[in-house]
């Protein structure tokens, strides 16, 4: 009987450890979503409007229009009054809303884009 019980005891404690690890990684994930380092870096930078404008012309104007007044994609006029910077960063980098592709601008480029969008 002794080995039987201790085997179960081991399984139980391994199970508990696995459960704790799972809970821990969940909560870690939650923190990670709020403090995503890319987003935090972008928010900490000051963008350059003119560079943002050329990035926009190159990457975004085909869908959102040369004047950002909408074509395939919606008009982005006044978008920064409707949407938070976090939302815009997520929108540009996630690829969650096809046909808008997933972009991977480096943090400075993302900050430049945002500062351009703020002028619309």
Q: Which residues bind ligand HEC (CB under 6 A)?
A: 59-60, 62-64, 72-74, 76, 79, 82-83, 88, 91-92, 97, 99-101, 103, 113
Residue 32: CB minimum distance to ligand HEC, A? 23
Token match 């799972």: residue? 22
Q: Is 95 left (phi over 0), alpha (psi -120 to 50) or beta?
A: left
φ, ψ of residue 119 to 5 degrees: the values are: -85, -5
- Compare residues 2 and 46 and give the one whose CB is closer to ligand HEC: 46
Measured distance CA(77)–CA(45) in Å, rounded: 23
Measured distance CA(71)–CA(62) in Å, rounded: 8
Residue 68: CB minimum distance to ligand HEC, A? 9
Measured distance CA(34)–CA(53) in Å, rounded: 28
Residue 31: CB minimum distance to ligand HEC, A? 26
Measured distance CA(1)–CA(106) in Å, rounded: 62
Residue 111: CB minimum distance to ligand HEC, A? 12
- Compare residues 36 and 118 and give the one whose CB is closer to ligand HEC: 118
- Compare residues 9 and 70 and give the one whose CB is closer to ligand HEC: 70
- Compare residues 41 and 90 and give the one whose CB is closer to ligand HEC: 90
């Amino acid at each position: 009987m002794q080995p039987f019980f201790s085997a179960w005891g081991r399984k139980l404690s391994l199970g508990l450890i696995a459960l704790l690890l799972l809970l821990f990684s969940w909560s870690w994930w939650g923190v990670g979503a709020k403090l995503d380092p890319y987003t935090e870096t972008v928010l900490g930078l000051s963008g350059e409007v003119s560079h943002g404008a050329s990035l926009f012309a190159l990457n975004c104007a085909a869908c959102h229009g040369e004047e950002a007044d909408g074509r395939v994609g919606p008009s982005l006029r006044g978008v920064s009054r409707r949407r938070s910077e976090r939302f815009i960063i997520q929108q540009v980098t996630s690829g969650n809303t096809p046909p808008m592709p997933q972009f991977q601008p480096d943090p400075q480029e993302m900050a430049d884009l945002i500062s351009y969008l703020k002028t619309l």
